[in-house]
Amino acid sequence: MLSVAHIHSYYGKAHILSDLSFDVPRGEVVALLGRNGAGKSTTLKSVMQLVPPRRGTVTYQGDNLVGRPAFRVATLGLGYVPEDRRIFSDLTVLENLEVGRQPPRADAPEWTTDKLFVLFPNLAERRGNRGRHLSGGEQQMLTIARTLMGNPALLLLDEPSEGIAPVIVEQMARTIRTLKSEGLTVLLSEQNLHFARAVSDRAIILEGGQKRFEGSFAELEATPAIRDAYLAV
């Protein structure tokens, strides 16, 4: 579904991603792992063309995305959930969801507010509350739910377990597994190895903007030297 090939991405003159390549097959959940500053968030932004690569290609279902405006990329069926959430704090939960509404797609599950309230019961209870009155975990749920209202076929999640209570982290893990069962493809960035292992099919480890490992979590566990070199605090 998604192919990233030899991309080089920059912030100004700072070379962040260097010759990065990987594939995300349809129906899989793939985790980008690495320490702070490894390039995980930049990778997601490069896919969405928020940080367009200066070299290389990002191909989604056969179409090269490089150079397209980010809003055009979103209309193709990619949904992006940023780490900093960016909900509309003065709008209610329902109003936030309506902002994200897009028409259904033939190749993606269709989401309605009722279906999302089953997926996120916390939001159902607070559907009339303004965004600023939600907890951090509830804001994270709302950001994901609003993105799902766009009926994406590929969901990009940036640090979904960051800064939320452990009980919400477990709920988030169940949510991602449910999304996969619905047929959604997911690429997520994560520092929490336990969380990533619980939801993902494969892992890609980044360090210094380069890929250092790609494989199953069983393969990662079998190579503790790699895990310790690139993931240990």
Q: What is the pLDDT along the chain (233 residues), one digit of tens a residue?
A: 999 999 999 999 999 999 999 999 999 999 999 999 999 999 999 999 999 999 999 999 999 999 999 999 999 999 999 988 789 999 999 999 999 999 999 889 999 999 999 999 999 999 999 999 999 889 999 999 999 999 999 999 999 988 888 888 898 999 999 999 999 999 999 999 999 999 999 999 999 999 999 999 999 999 999 999 999 86
Q: What is the CATH number of the domain that holds 158?
A: 3.40.50.300
Query: Which range of residues forms the domain containing residue 218?
Result: 2-230
Could you give the CA distance from residue 153 to residue 208 in angstroms, rounded to a whole number? Answer: 29
DSSP per residue, 106-163: TTS----HHHHHHH-HHHHHTTTSBGGGS-HHHHHHHHHHHHHTT--SEEEEESTTTT
**Domains contained in the chain, number:** 1
**pTM, to two decimals:** 0.93
